[in-house]
Structure 1
Amino acid sequence: MRPCLLSFLLLSPTSAALAQPVAALQPMAFLAGHCWKGEFPGGTQTDEHCFQWLYGGQMLRDVHTVRSPGKPDYVGETTYYHDAAAGTVAFLYVENSGGYSRGTMRPADGGLDFPATQYVGASGKALTYRVRWTPSDGAYEAHSEIQSGERWLPQFKLLLKKQ
């Protein structure tokens, strides 16, 4: 019992929030140790992201859950890490229906930019998307666009508030 309790204490959100992130992940530090939740237009579907430092700040985990009435939860997990060889922050996203995505994040004036990358569904079909997160007081706005031919189309814009 004692080793389990010790593991729980070492991995608790409180201690994880106190981790000192590697320099490359510092722009994402405001997210760590918190859950952030937003409602899609119509107010019936929610999106929640819970962030936690891993390995003493070497990586950042984002557990992501979209809830819709009458449907199973859509759940995904993103791990952000410093890719020293490429000199950037990279991520791997996997989700419960078999899809995945790999990409990068770069700090930008007033926010975090996730340049164009591909989401590959379980069927193998790919979708190219890009995202920008803009922090504000106790919240951040996520603005996602998808590529259609040569054009970028809005996918969603969502305000996620600290819980």
Structure 2
Amino acid sequence: MRPMLALLLLSSTVAQAAPAEALKPMAFLAGHCWKGEFPGGQQTDEHCFQWTLDGHALRDVHTVRAPGKPDYVGETLYYYDSAAQQVAYLYLENSGGYSHGTMKPTTTGLEFPEARYINGSMVLPYRSQWTIGTDSYEAFSEMYIKDKWTTQLRMVLKKQ
């Protein structure tokens, strides 16, 4: 039993020795906040990214602010799922909703394939793409409503 325990401890130490190569396409986000305005300029969307867990995960604290309304806050943790051999994420928000999905790098940025947002009995399929600029990225999100993909959001978020 002891040799097995030692092997498990050693293998987990080796696996955590360096950040996963798969997270490197997201490195430009780390250590910065990125902010955009919704159409009409009455609401802002801010994402602040930090490496956590010794660089094995990227944390995104997401805050939507609107005058006279409580902040909408969510947190995403991106990590390398070694079993599935891909970057995965878990998103939780202050209204009780959550989602989990995956991220794939593309030639122009990051793709978040179809996932499901769940809040109580509501289940909403969505997907997103982030196109990377010099000091900004454009977020484009769609929701699947009434048997078709509908634009939910298109916003440029600038490095703060």
Q: TM-score, normalised by structure 1?
A: 0.85
Deviation string 1:40-94 (CA, Å, 9 cap, x unpaired) is 0000100000000012210000000000111000000000000000010000000
The amino acid that maps onto 2:153 is: F
Root mean square deviation, CA, Å: 1.0
8 A contact 1:101–1:117 mirrored in 2: yes
SS in 2 for 1:26: helix
Which 4+ stretches in 1 moved above 3 angstroms? none
Distance in structure 2 (CA, Å) of the matches to 1:44 and 1:144? 19
Distance in structure 2 (CA, Å) of the matches to 1:95 and 1:87? 26
Superposition pairs for residues 1-163 of structure 1, below 5 Å? 21-121=19-119, 123-163=120-160
Q: Kindly, what percent of the aligned residue pairs are identical?
A: 62
Q: Which runs of 5+ in 1 are unaligned?
A: 1-19
SS in 1 for 2:83: coil
Distance in structure 2 (CA, Å) of the matches to 1:148 and 1:75? 24
Equivalent pairs counted in the alignment come to 143
The amino acid that maps onto 2:82 is: A
Distance in structure 1 (CA, Å) of the matches to 2:122 and 2:133? 35
Distance in structure 1 (CA, Å) of the matches to 2:146 and 2:38? 26
The Cα of 1:21 is off from its aligned counterpart by 3.5
Moved more, 106-115 or 142-151: 142-151
Larger C-alpha radius of gyration, 1 or 2? 2
Distance in structure 1 (CA, Å) of the matches to 2:35 and 2:19? 23
Partner of 1:6: none
